[in-house]
C-alpha cells in the first residue's frame, strides 16, 4: 500500500473506531459486535506499524499508555477551579436559596447534579483535539496528567466541532472496576485501596500510564473553564452542548424552579445512591442562568451561585444495646452488635460486625457504650470504636460464653485461632448451615432448595442430616406452606438429578475444613472415587500438587469420624454418585489443550457463565487466573472484554472467542 492510501485508510479507520468507542463508552449503546471493533483496531495497528510517521495523537491505538514519566509538570489554570461551599441540611439549602434571591432581581432556576466521588480534572481541547489534562490541585495550580487521562475511553481524543475549549469533570472508578482491582491486589498480597475515590486518584497519579490504562476508569464532564467563543446563556445549555460535542455527562441532572424541589431531589438520591454503579458523596446545586451567576459572583474561596450538599458521613454514632452470637457451618461463634437504629450511607443500620472476642477486648467495647460504626459501600457495617468519654459507669464488659448458644456444648479455642468454636457435630445451628452449604450452587447445586426451604424443612423435622435430603417424600413436602404440586415435583426432580453430580461437588458440599471447590476437584481427579480418598494416607494426599499439610490432615481426620463413614454409606445406598466424572489426570496430561496452561477469562459469555468455563478448563488441567501477563497462554474473550484483551494482544498472547472455547469443550 502506498503512503497516501495508508494515510486515507488510517484516517477512515480512526474515525470509525472513535465513533464505535463513543457509542460504547459514552452512550452505552454499541452498534457493532466486539469482534468487528477488534478487527478494525488490529487493521489500524498493522497500518500504523507499517507507517509509524502517520500515527496521530488522537488515534484510538494511543490509549494504552505511553512511556513512564519521571515526574508530573505543574500547570496553571487560566480560570481557577474553585471549591464549593457545603450544605448539610435542608435549612442550609434554603439559606443558600435566600442568599441567591437577595443577590439578583430575577426568578432563579436551579440545576442539580450528582456529586461524583472522584478526582476533579480539566481537559483542554485546541481546534477540537485533546491536548492537555490536569488535576485540580490547589485550584490555581494542578499537575499535568495528560498521558493518564488519555487512557480513559470515555474521554474523546477529538470532539465533533473544532472548538478550543477547556472542560471540567470528575474522573472516577466504577464499583466493578474497584472490586476487580482490589481482588488483584489481594492476590499479589498488596494493600487494597480503601475506597474507589482513593483508587481513582492513585491511578491517575501513576507515573506509568499503563497502570492507569489497566484500571478501567471513567469520567463525567460537568462544566467549562476557559472558552472564548462560548455564547450559551445557562449551565443546563452547557451540559447539553458538552454532550453534543461527544463528552460523557451524567444523565441524572435535573432543572428545578423551587428550592423545595431541589430538597426532594437531594432526599431521593440520599436513599438511592447505593443503587448506582459508582460512588457519589452529595449533590451539587447551581444557579442555572449564567448572567445571574456573574451577578452573584464569588467569595474568596467559592462561588455564591453554587453549593454542594454533602451526604451524611460514612461513620455514625449510636448505642450498643446487646451482642448476639451466631454459630457458623464450621462451628465458629461470631458476635454481632445490636444497635439503636442509625442511618449510615443512606441505609438504616441496626446490627454491625464485631468479628471476634479478641477484637472486642482490644477495642474495649462494652454493652451500653456509645460507639462509632462505619459502612463503606455495600460492605457490612462494623463497630469501629467506643466513645469512652461518653461512658456513664453503667456500661458492662462483655464476656463470651463457655457454652454454644445453640446446643449448649462446651466451646473451645483451637490452637492458633482467635475464634471460639463449637465442635459438637450434632449442633443444630451447624447442621442447618451445613445443609445450606451442601445444596448451594458451588456444591450439589439443588435448584429450589435454598436457605429458606432448608430452614423450613429443618424446623418441621423433615431433614436433620445431608442424607435426609434424599429421603424426602412427596406427601411430606405437599403439607408444607407454599409448596404446591408443581414446585414439589421440580424440587424432587432437582434432588434426584443431583445424585449424578461428579465427586468433586459432593466433596465440596460435605464442608471438609480447608477444602474449597478447587481443592475438591483436585482430590477427585487424583483419587477418582470416594473409597480411594477415604482410604488414602496423609502422605498420599500431601503428595498431590496444591494440597498442603493442613488440608491433608483435615481430610484424614474427617474420614476417621464414625459419623462420616456412616453418612457416606447412607448416601451411597441412596444412589448418590461417589465417582469422579471429569477427565482423568493421566488423560489430561496427554490430550487436553489446557493441560499445564494458564488461562484468563474476560468479558461476558452468552452460552455459559465464566464460572462454568473456569470449572471446565480446570477439569482439563488448566489454571485460570485473573490477570494477563507474559506467563498467560490463552485469553478467552467474551463481550466487553476491555483492557485484558488489549493487554493480551499487546503481549502476543493467544486469544480465543467464546465459539472457539465451545468447540474445544464440545459444548
CA–CA separation, 643 and 63 (whole Å): 10
Binning pLDDT at 50, 70 and 90, where does residue 574 land?
very high
Top pLDDT among 480 and 321 is at 321
Residue 119 C-alpha from the chain's centroid: 19
DSSP-derived secondary structure for 114-175 = EEESSEEEEEEEETTEEEEEEE-TTSSEEEB-HHHHTT-TTS-SB-SS---EEEEEEEE--H
Catalytic annotation, residues: 115
CA–CA separation, 320 and 373 (whole Å): 10
* Helical segments of 376-462, H only: 428-438, 451-459
Binning pLDDT at 50, 70 and 90, where does residue 497 land?
very high
- What is the tens place of the pLDDT at every residue in 501-558? 999 999 999 989 888 887 898 899 899 999 999 999 999 999 887 788 888 999 999 9
- The answer to whether residue 589 scores a pLDDT higher than 50 is no
Structural domains of the chain in order of their starting residue, each with its CATH number:
3-63 (1.10.287.610), 85-310 (3.30.470.30), 315-397 (2.40.50.140), 428-498 (1.10.150.20), 503-573 (1.10.150.20), 588-665 (3.40.50.10190)
Helix (H, G, I), strand (E, B) or coil at 582: coil
First to last CA, the chain: 42
| Contact residues for 233 (Cβ-Cβ < 8 A; gap 6+) | 289, 290, 291
666: which DSSP letter? T
Of the candidate ranges 296-300, 415-419, 489-493, the one whose mean pLDDT is the lowest: 415-419
- What is the tens place of the pLDDT at every residue in 348-395? 789 998 888 888 998 999 999 999 998 754 456 889 899 999 999 999
Residue 170 C-alpha from the chain's centroid: 20
- Beta-carbon neighbour count of residue 111 at 10 Å? 22
Q: Give the residue from 405, 408, 469 showing the smallest Cα distance to 436.
A: 469
CA–CA separation, 622 and 595 (whole Å): 5
- Beta-carbon neighbour count of residue 537 at 10 Å? 10
Amino acid at each position: 500500500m502506498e503512503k497516501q492510501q495508508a494515510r486515507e485508510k488510517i484516517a477512515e479507520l480512526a474515525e470509525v473506531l472513535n465513533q464505535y468507542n463513543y457509542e460504547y463508552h459514552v452512550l452505552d449503546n454499541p452498534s457493532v459486535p466486539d469482534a468487528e471493533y477488534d478487527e478494525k483496531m488490529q487493521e489500524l495497528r498493522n497500518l500504523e506499524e507499517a507507517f509509524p510517521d502517520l500515527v496521530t495523537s488522537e488515534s484510538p491505538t494511543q490509549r494504552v499508555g505511553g512511556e513512564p514519566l519521571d515526574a508530573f509538570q505543574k500547570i496553571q489554570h487560566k480560570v481557577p477551579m474553585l471549591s464549593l461551599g457545603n450544605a448539610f441540611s435542608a435549612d442550609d439549602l434554603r439559606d443558600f436559596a435566600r442568599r441567591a434571591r437577595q443577590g439578583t432581581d430575577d426568578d432563579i432556576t436551579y440545576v442539580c447534579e450528582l456529586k461524583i466521588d472522584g478526582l476533579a480534572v480539566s481537559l483542554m481541547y485546541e481546534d477540537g483535539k485533546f491536548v492537555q489534562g490536569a488535576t485540580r490541585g490547589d485550584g490555581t495550580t494542578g499537575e499535568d496528567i495528560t498521558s493518564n487521562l488519555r487512557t480513559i475511553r470515555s474521554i474523546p481524543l477529538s470532539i465533533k466541532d473544532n472548538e478550543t475549549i477547556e472542560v471540567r469533570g470528575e474522573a472516577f472508578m466504577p464499583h466493578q472496576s474497584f472490586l476487580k482491582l482490589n481482588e488483584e491486589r489481594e492476590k499479589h498480597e498488596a494493600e487494597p485501596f480503601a475506597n474507589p475515590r482513593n483508587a481513582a486518584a492513585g491511578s491517575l497519579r501513576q507515573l506509568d500510564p499503563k497502570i492507569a490504562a489497566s484500571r478501567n476508569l471513567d469520567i463525567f464532564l460537568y462544566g467549562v473553564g476557559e472558552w472564548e467563543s462560548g455564547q450559551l446563556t445557562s449551565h443546563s445549555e452547557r451540559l447539553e452542548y458538552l454532550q453534543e460535542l461527544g463528552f460523557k455527562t451524567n444523565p441524572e441532572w435535573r432543572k428545578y424552579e423551587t428550592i423545595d424541589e431541589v430538597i426532594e431531589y437531594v432526599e431521593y438520591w440520599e436513599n438511592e445512591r447505593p443503587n448506582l454503579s459508582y460512588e457519589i458523596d452529595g449533590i451539587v446545586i447551581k444557579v442555572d442562568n449564567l448572567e445571574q451567576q456573574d451577578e452573584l459572583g464569588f467569595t474568596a474561596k467559592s462561588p455564591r451561585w453554587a453549593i454542594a450538599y454533602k451526604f451524611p458521613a460514612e461513620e455514625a454514632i449510636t448505642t450498643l444495646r446487646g451482642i448476639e452470637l451466631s454459630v457458623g457451618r464450621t462451628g465458629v461463634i461470631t458476635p454481632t452488635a445490636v444497635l439503636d437504629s442509625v442511618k449510615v450511607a443512606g441505609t438504616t443500620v441496626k446490627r454491625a460486625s464485631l468479628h471476634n472476642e479478641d477484637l472486642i477486648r482490644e477495642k474495649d467495647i462494652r454493652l451500653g457504650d456509645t460507639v462509632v460504626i462505619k459502612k463503606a459501600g455495600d460492605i457490612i457495617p462494623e463497630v469501629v470504636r467506643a466513645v469512652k468519654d461518653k461512658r456513664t459507669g453503667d456500661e458492662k464488659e462483655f464476656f463470651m460464653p463457655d457454652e454454644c448458644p445453640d446446643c449448649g456444648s462446651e466451646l473451645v479455642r483451637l490452637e492458633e485461632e482467635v475464634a471460639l468454636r463449637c465442635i459438637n457435630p450434632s449442633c443444630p445451628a451447624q447442621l442447618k448451615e451445613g445443609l445450606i452449604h451442601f445444596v448451594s450452587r458451588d456444591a450439589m447445586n439443588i435448584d429450589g432448595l435454598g436457605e429458606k426451604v432448608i430452614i423450613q424443612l429443618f424446623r418441621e423435622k423433615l431433614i436433620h442430616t445431608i442424607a435426609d435430603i434424599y429421603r424426602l417424600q412427596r406427601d411430606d413436602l405437599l403439607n408444607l406452606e407454599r409448596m404446591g404440586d408443581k414446585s414439589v415435583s421440580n424440587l424432587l426432580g432437582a434432588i434426584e438429578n443431583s445424585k449424578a453430580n461428579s465427586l468433586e461437588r459432593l466433596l465440596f458440599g460435605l464442608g471438609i475444613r480447608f477444602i474449597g471447590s478447587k481443592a475438591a476437584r483436585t482430590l477427585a481427579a487424583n483419587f477418582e472415587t470416594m473409597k480411594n480418598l477415604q482410604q488414602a494416607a496423609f502422605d498420599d494426599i500431601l503428595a498431590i500438587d496444591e494440597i498442603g499439610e493442613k488440608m491433608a490432615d483435615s481430610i484424614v481426620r474427617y474420614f476417621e469420624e464414625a459419623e462420616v463413614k456412616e453418612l457416606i454409606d447412607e448416601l451411597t445406598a441412596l444412589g448418590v454418585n461417589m465417582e469422579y466424572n471429569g477427565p482423568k489426570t493421566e488423560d489430561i496430561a496427554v490430550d487436553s489443550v489446557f493441560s499445564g496452561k494458564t488461562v484468563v477469562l474476560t468479558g461476558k459469555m452468552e452460552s455459559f457463565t465464566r464460572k462454568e468455563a473456569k470449572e471446565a478448563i480446570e477439569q482439563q488441567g488448566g489454571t485460570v487466573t485473573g490477570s494477563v501477563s507474559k506467563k498467560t497462554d490463552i485469553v478467552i474473550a467474551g463481550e466487553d472484554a476491555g483492557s485484558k484483551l488489549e493487554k493480551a494482544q499487546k503481549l502476543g498472547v493467544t486469544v480465543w472467542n467464546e465459539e472457539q472455547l465451545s468447540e474445544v469443550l464440545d459444548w
